[in-house]
Chain A
Amino acid sequence: MNTQPEKPGSTPPAPKNLEEKQSLEDLDRRVRELREERRKPSKLSMNIKAPPSNVLGLAFRVAVELVSALVVGAIIGWSLDYWLDTRPWIMLVFVVLGAAAGILNVYRLASGFAYAANYQTADEKDQEHRDSDL
Chain B
Amino acid sequence: MAVEKHSPLAQFEIKELIPMEIGSLDASFTNSSLVMVLTVVSIAAFLVLGMRKHAHVPGRWQSMAELSYIFIANMVKDTVGSEGRTYFPFIFSVFMFVLFGNLWGMVPYSFAFTSHIAVTFTMAAFVFIGVTLIALAKHKMHFFSFFMPQGAPIYMAPLLIPIEVISYLSRPISLSVRLFANMLAGHTLLKVFAGFVISLGALGVLPLLFVVALTGLEFVIAFLQAFVFAILTCLYLNDALHLH
Contact = CB atoms under 8 A, between A and B. Distances in A.
Given A42-B77, A94-B162, A117 B146 contact: yes
B163 A97 contact: yes
Contact of B163 (A44, A46, A104): A104
A114 B28 CA distance: 42
B63 interface: no
Contact of B166 (A98, A114, A133): A98
A4 B182 CA distance: 67
A118 interface: yes
A100 B82 CA distance: 34
B149 A133 contact: no
Given A115-B239, A129-B81, A72 B170 contact: yes
B150 A64 contact: no
A60 B75 CA distance: 23
Contacts of B239: 114-116
A69 B166 CA distance: 6
B227 interface: yes
Contact of B169 (A65, A72, A119): A72
A114 B170 CA distance: 15
A38 B147 CA distance: 33
A130 B81 contact: yes
A117 B244 contact: yes
B181 A129 contact: no
A104 B174 CA distance: 14
A44 B166 contact: no
B96 to A, nearest CB: 17
B177 interface: yes
Contact of A102 (B149, B164, B170, B235): B170
A117 B146 CA distance: 6
Contact of B244 (A44, A48, A65, A116): A116
B177 A68 contact: yes
Given A64-B174, A94-B162, A115-B236, A46 B167 contact: no
Contacts of B51: none
Given A46-B78, A129-B81, A69 B170 contact: yes
B166 A97 contact: yes
B149 A105 contact: no
B149 A69 contact: no
Contacts of A125: 242
A94 B75 CA distance: 36
Interface in B203-244: 224, 227, 235-236, 238-239, 242-244
- Give the 4 A-B CB pairs with smallest separation, nearest first: A118-B244, A68-B173, A101-B166, A42-B74
23 contacts: A42-B77, A42-B78, A44-B74, A57-B224, A68-B173, A68-B174, A69-B174, A72-B169, A73-B166, A94-B162, A94-B166, A97-B162, A101-B163, A115-B171, A115-B239, A116-B239, A116-B243, A117-B148, A117-B167, A118-B149, A119-B151, A129-B81, A133-B83
Interface of A: 38, 41-42, 44-46, 48-49, 52, 57, 60-61, 64-65, 67-69, 71-73, 76, 94, 97-98, 100-102, 104-105, 114-120, 122, 125-126, 129-130, 133
Given A71-B170, A101-B164, A102-B170, 16 more contacts: A41-B77, A42-B74, A45-B78, A60-B178, A64-B174, A64-B177, A68-B173, A69-B166, A104-B164, A104-B167, A114-B239, A115-B236, A116-B239, A116-B243, A117-B147, A118-B244
